[in-house]
């Protein structure tokens, strides 16, 4: 798979810090904080692969991977697939261990919670066969291997246990006594000797998770004293509030289906209905009530011929076999939180919760089930903005957002574009995500394959070359040390190459081929992938089946130089192309004001009748900005105005040049005048004006190229209370002076 930029960076950081801790005295801890949906299991898999392959790590390593509930099974299955072809690491359960020890580069998976039950669990309990954990660790260490302990979902093991369980957990860590412990979680409890953290914003930049989660859309939500009081929890909904919640969730699902069809995607969005974990009469009655509502009012049931409902409860599994598939016919899944730990279903996009639920606190473990994007390999968000969000509906009276959820990620203030809005179709720009110039991206594979055709590599190489000739120096004698100066000694004795030697020789060849790039692991793997693709496409040889034969062809006879020639040309082409593309902006030909925007508790509602978004929610960055908003709202010439944002393609930007690099300038305000013209204005005062000179040039250049558009940098002649004249600057940026209004135009709107 192609790792994302933030994933590659996190893996490199983990590797660097793990090597430092392994070289220090034992008992060190590395904490890896990775947001839900960021792909932490895949990152850990690649990190472990690079760790055992790293030549700076001298000691042989054995691993233990502990996780709560049944999450260790899911993790093992994912890692088995990841290592299926490379066989870099072996994944095992306790009963799979050979010779009652953990081999080098082997990962032992077990359930953290059950192993804590000392004296009863078979992994821990002593037996006559001496096949229990402490003895396994003893044998492993006797063979000189270093133990690395990985604790997945560490927040669960550390934060959701009673005192007795916590004590047992700490004792288990003490018994394992690893040289390095790596704690992995979206919400770690304690800091380590080193920390590696991934920011939610970095994950969003790669469109791996939803932009945000919207709470009770179209209902009034009020934030007060740290709680969200929602209209859906009020008395007027008490009689049929569960039915109302379900109705809203399913109505949103229908809207999503229409938008997926517009995108040409066959995603069937899933509604999750989460029942309380408790077992009792009230909970059973709620389950029966929900199932009845779904069947009677919405024709959704588990019955044959319908199959639109799946149930995943303790002892009751119905229709859930393929529920994770994007095209599954299941529309609603009834489940409990306890079972859902670590469960992935990216098509899940709507969640319904009821007031009988165990807690009004929304934690990352609750909302995380609908955070993932269903098609992460797209690399960007959908054009249909509705698809980039998750939706929560609940009749809980007072909702609390836990601190483990990124600030502002759950949005409960929704603003919609006015109905009479007519498209303005502006040309907008936004930053492309480029990989670093120092590393090879997937584009290199395409360039390499094209170069193999241009050089006719397929016809030039000797496909019968199977002998890799390695010679060593034997019985060489020198009279004294001085005779060796400048002398080249050639090997004179051929030796047989083992599979391990073949791997090392191929690795050396690939690293040596990276003459224009530093041979770090990501680029090395990209070159290997390119060569494997060539053999797969041109010679119909799959490297997973014929790796040894492929490598012998590459390294045999005169073939190495032929491959190096193509690799050199491909690197030059890639480097040239990257330098041209670096700094390019993506263009959007028909940008319009978003139909819906969501906001969190740090935004305030204001009555602004000419705002194109209703209600108008705002978080002012300055008093100048606030005063200009009032100025626009009081203008008789303004039909509507829009307070712009400052990120990705959602919001409007014009291109400008700074330090010879193109960048997007997100202007503060877009104004539609009654006469039909569009105004683009950005407020600046004091020293901020000095920083706006290049942006001003970009804005004026944009206005010249597009008819019916004007605008500029706006300031007020009275910087104390902004009661003076509003002035607009439209000249060259280099002449823009914060204290001089003589070269500005009066903004008469």
Same domain, 447 and 509: yes
pLDDT digits (tens, 9 = 90+) for 619-640: 988 899 999 999 999 999 999 9
Q: Looking at residue 493, what is its pLDDT? A: 54
Same domain, 629 and 717: yes
Same domain, 566 and 609: no
Q: Looking at residue 11, what is its pLDDT? A: 93
- Percentage of the residues of the chain whose pLDDT score is greater than 70: 85
Same domain, 565 and 495: yes
Residue 245: alpha-carbon gap to chain centroid: 30
CA–CA dist 548, 553 (Å, integer)? 9
Q: How far is CA 410 from CA 367, 369, 381, in A?
A: 9, 13, 18
**For residue 594, what are its two tokens?**
């978003």
Domain around 178: 5-200
| Residue 278 CB neighbour total at 10 angstroms | 11
The stretch 205-227 carries a mean pLDDT of 83
Query: 417, 419, 410, 416: which is closest to 230 by C-alpha?
Result: 410
Query: Is residue 558 scored above 90 in pLDDT?
Result: no
CA–CA dist 443, 577 (Å, integer)? 10
Q: Is 416 helix (H, G, I), strand (E, B) or coil?
A: strand
E strands, 563-690, where? 585-591, 596-599, 604-606, 613-614, 616-618, 638-643, 654-658, 661-665, 669-673, 678-683
Q: Mention every residue, 6+ apart, whose C-beta is less than 8 A from residue 400.
A: 226, 227, 228, 360, 361, 362
Query: Is residue 310 scored above 90 in pLDDT?
Result: yes
pLDDT digits (tens, 9 = 90+) for 23-42: 998 789 999 999 888 999 99
β-pairing, 678-683 with 709-716? Answer: parallel
Phi/psi class of residue 69: alpha, beta or left (left: φ > 0; alpha: ψ in -120 to 50)? left
Same domain, 126 and 158: yes
CA–CA dist 540, 488 (Å, integer)? 41
Which residue, chain included where needed, has tokens 């995943």? 312
Same domain, 398 and 495: no
Query: Is residue 69 scored above 80 in pLDDT?
Result: no
Query: Is residue 217 scored above 90 in pLDDT?
Result: no
Stated as kind and residue range, the H or E segment containing 31 is strand 28-33
Q: How far is CA 325 from CA 233, 322, 346, 455, 682, in A?
A: 33, 6, 9, 43, 46
Same domain, 267 and 363: yes
Same domain, 289 and 376: yes
Q: How far is CA 184 from CA 111, 153, 161, 334, 641, in A?
A: 15, 6, 17, 28, 46
Residue 706 is assigned to a structural domain of this protein? yes
Residue 684 is assigned to a structural domain of this protein? yes
Which residue, chain included where needed, has tokens 């599954």? 328
Least confident segment among 404-408, 566-570, 665-669: 404-408
CA distance between the termini of the chain = 55
Residue 508 is assigned to a structural domain of this protein? yes
| HEC secondary structure over 496-529 | CCCHHHHHHHHHHHHHHHCCCCCCCHHHHHHHHH
**For residue 383, what are its two tokens?**
């054009």
Phi/psi class of residue 207: alpha, beta or left (left: φ > 0; alpha: ψ in -120 to 50)? left
172 or 261, higher pLDDT:
261
Rounding to the nearest 10 degrees, give the CA dihedral for residues 114, 119, 120, 125. 90
Residue 436 is assigned to a structural domain of this protein? no
pLDDT digits (tens, 9 = 90+) for 276-301: 776 777 778 888 999 999 999 999 99
> In the listed set 540, 564, 581, which residue is the last one of a domain according to the structure?
581
Per-chain mean pLDDT for the chain:
85
What is the helix, strand, coil percentage profile of the chain, to 5?
35, 25, 40
Same domain, 358 and 501: no
Same domain, 506 and 594: no
> In the listed set 166, 200, 234, which residue is the last one of a domain according to the structure?
200
Residue 674 is assigned to a structural domain of this protein? yes
One DSSP character per residue, 676-735 reads S-EEEEEE--THHHHTTHHHHHHHHHHHHHSTTEEEEEEEES-TTTS-S-EEEE-S-GGG
Q: Is 23 helix (H, G, I), strand (E, B) or coil?
A: helix
- pLDDT-derived band at 497, boundaries 50, 70, 90: low
Q: Looking at residue 132, what is its pLDDT? A: 84
The DSSP symbol for 324 reads T
The DSSP symbol for 145 reads P
CA atoms within 13 A on the CB side of 568: 9
Write phi, then psi, for 648 (nearest 5 degrees): 35, -155
Q: Looking at residue 647, what is its pLDDT? A: 83
Phi/psi class of residue 76: alpha, beta or left (left: φ > 0; alpha: ψ in -120 to 50)? alpha
Residue 428 is assigned to a structural domain of this protein? no
> In the listed set 360, 390, 411, which residue is the last one of a domain according to the structure?
411
Same domain, 365 and 472: no
CA–CA dist 3, 27 (Å, integer)? 31
Is 137 within 8 Å of 124 (Cβ atoms)? no
- pLDDT-derived band at 65, boundaries 50, 70, 90: very high
- pLDDT-derived band at 479, boundaries 50, 70, 90: low
Phi/psi class of residue 132: alpha, beta or left (left: φ > 0; alpha: ψ in -120 to 50)? beta
pTM of the model: 0.74
Same domain, 571 and 695: no
β-pairing, 669-673 with 678-683? Answer: antiparallel
Residue 270 is assigned to a structural domain of this protein? yes
Query: Is residue 582 scored above 70 in pLDDT?
Result: no
User: Tell me, what CATH number does 387's domain have?
Assistant: 3.40.50
Please classify residue 632 by burial: count the beta carbons closer than 10 Å to its beta carbon, then call 0-12 exposed, 13-18 middle and 19+ buried: buried
Q: Looking at residue 614, what is its pLDDT? A: 93
- pLDDT-derived band at 340, boundaries 50, 70, 90: low
Is 211 within 8 Å of 376 (Cβ atoms)? no
The DSSP symbol for 374 reads S
Which residue, chain included where needed, has tokens 């009654």? 674
In the chain, count H helices and then E strands.
20, 36
- pLDDT-derived band at 159, boundaries 50, 70, 90: very low
- Percentage of the residues of the chain whose pLDDT score is greater than 90: 42
Which residue, chain included where needed, has tokens 């279903």? 345
Residue 221 is assigned to a structural domain of this protein? yes
One DSSP character per residue, 328-340 reads -S--EEEEETGGG
Count of structural domains, the chain: 4
């Amino acid at each position: 798979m192609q790792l994302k930029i933030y994933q590659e960076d996190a893996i490199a950081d983990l590797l660097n810090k793990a090597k430092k801790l392994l070289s220090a005295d034992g008992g060190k801890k590395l904490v890896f904080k990775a947001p839900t949906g960021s792909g932490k299991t895949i990152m850990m898999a690649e990190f472990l692969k690079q760790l055992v392959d790293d030549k700076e790590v001298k000691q042989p390593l054995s691993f233990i991977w502990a996780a709560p509930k049944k999450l260790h099974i899911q993790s093992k299955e994912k890692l088995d697939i990841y290592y299926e072809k490379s066989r870099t690491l072996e994944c095992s359960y306790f009963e799979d261990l050979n010779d009652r020890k953990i081999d080098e580069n082997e990962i032992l998976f077990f359930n953290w919670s059950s192993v804590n039950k000392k004296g009863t669990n078979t992994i821990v309990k002593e037996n006559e066969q001496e096949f229990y954990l402490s003895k396994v660790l003893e044998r492993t260490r006797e063979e000189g291997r270093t133990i690395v302990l990985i604790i997945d979902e560490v927040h669960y093991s550390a934060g959701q246990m009673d005192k007795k369980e916590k004590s047992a957990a700490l004792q288990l860590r003490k018994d394992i006594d690893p040289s390095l412990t790596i704690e992995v979680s979206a919400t770690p409890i304690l800091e380590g000797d080193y920390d590696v953290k991934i920011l939610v914003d970095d994950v969003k930049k790669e469109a791996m998770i939803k932009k945000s989660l919207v709470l009770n859309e179209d209902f009034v939500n009020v934030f007060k004293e740290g709680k969200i009081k929602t209209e859906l929890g009020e008395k007027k909904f008490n009689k049929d509030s569960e039915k109302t919640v379900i109705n809203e969730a399913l109505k949103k699902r229908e809207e999503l289906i229409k938008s997926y069809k517009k995108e040409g995607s066959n995603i069937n969005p899933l509604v999750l209905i989460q029942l309380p974990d408790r077992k009792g009469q009230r909970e059973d009655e709620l389950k029966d009530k929900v199932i009845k509502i779904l069947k009677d009012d919405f024709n959704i049931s588990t019955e044959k011929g319908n199959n639109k409902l799946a149930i995943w409860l303790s002892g009751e599994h119905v229709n859930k076999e393929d529920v994770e598939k994007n095209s599954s016919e299941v529309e609603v899944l009834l489940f409990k939180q306890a079972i859902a730990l670590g469960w992935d279903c990216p098509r899940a996009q709507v969640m319904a919760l009821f007031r009988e639920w165990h807690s009004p606190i929304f934690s990352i473990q609750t909302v995380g089930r609908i955070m993932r994007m269903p098609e992460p390999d797209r690399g960007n968000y959908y054009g249909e903005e509705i698809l980039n969000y998750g939706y929560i509906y609940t009749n809980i009276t007072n909702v609390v957002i836990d601190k483990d959820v990124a600030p502002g990620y759950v949005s409960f203030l929704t603003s919609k574009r006015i109905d009479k809005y007519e498209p303005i179709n502006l040309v907008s720009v936004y930053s492309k995500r480029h990989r670093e110039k120092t590393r090879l991206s997937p584009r290199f594979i395409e360039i390499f394959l094209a170069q193999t055709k241009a050089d006719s590599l397929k016809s030039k190489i000797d496909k019968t070359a199977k002998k890799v000739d390695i010679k060593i120096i034997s019985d060489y004698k020198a009279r004294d040390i001085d005779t060796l100066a400048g002398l080249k000694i050639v090997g004179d004795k051929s030796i047989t190459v083992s599979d391990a030697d073949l791997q090392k020789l191929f690795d050396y060849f690939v690293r040596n081929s990276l003459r224009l790039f530093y041979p770090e692991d990501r680029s090395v793997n990209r070159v290997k992938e390119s060569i494997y693709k060539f053999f797969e496409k041109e010679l119909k040889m799959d490297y997973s089946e014929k790796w040894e034969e492929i490598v012998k062809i590459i390294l045999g006879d005169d073939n190495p130089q032929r491959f190096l020639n193509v690799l050199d040309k491909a690197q030059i082409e890639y480097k040239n192309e990257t330098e041209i593309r670096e700094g390019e902006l993506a263009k959007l030909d028909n940008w319009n004001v978003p139909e819906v925007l969501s906001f969190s508790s740090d935004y305030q509602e204001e009555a602004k009748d000419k705002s194109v978004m209703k209600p108008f929610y705002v978080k002012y960055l300055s008093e100048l900005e606030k005063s200009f908003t009032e100025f626009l709202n009081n203008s008789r010439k303004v039909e509507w105005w829009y307070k712009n944002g400052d990120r990705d393609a959602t919001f409007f930007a014009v291109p400008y040049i700074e330090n010879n690099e193109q960048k997007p300038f997100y202007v503060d305000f877009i104004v539609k005048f009654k006469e039909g013209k569009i105004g683009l204005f950005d407020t600046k005062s004091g020293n901020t004006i000095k920083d706006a000179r290049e942006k001003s040039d970009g804005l004026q250049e944009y206005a010249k190229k597009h008819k019916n558009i004007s605008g500029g940098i706006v300031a007020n002649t009275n910087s104390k209370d902004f009661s003076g004249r509003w002035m607009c600057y439209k000249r060259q940026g280099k002449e823009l002076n914060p204290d001089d209004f003589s070269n500005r135009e009066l903004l008469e709107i």
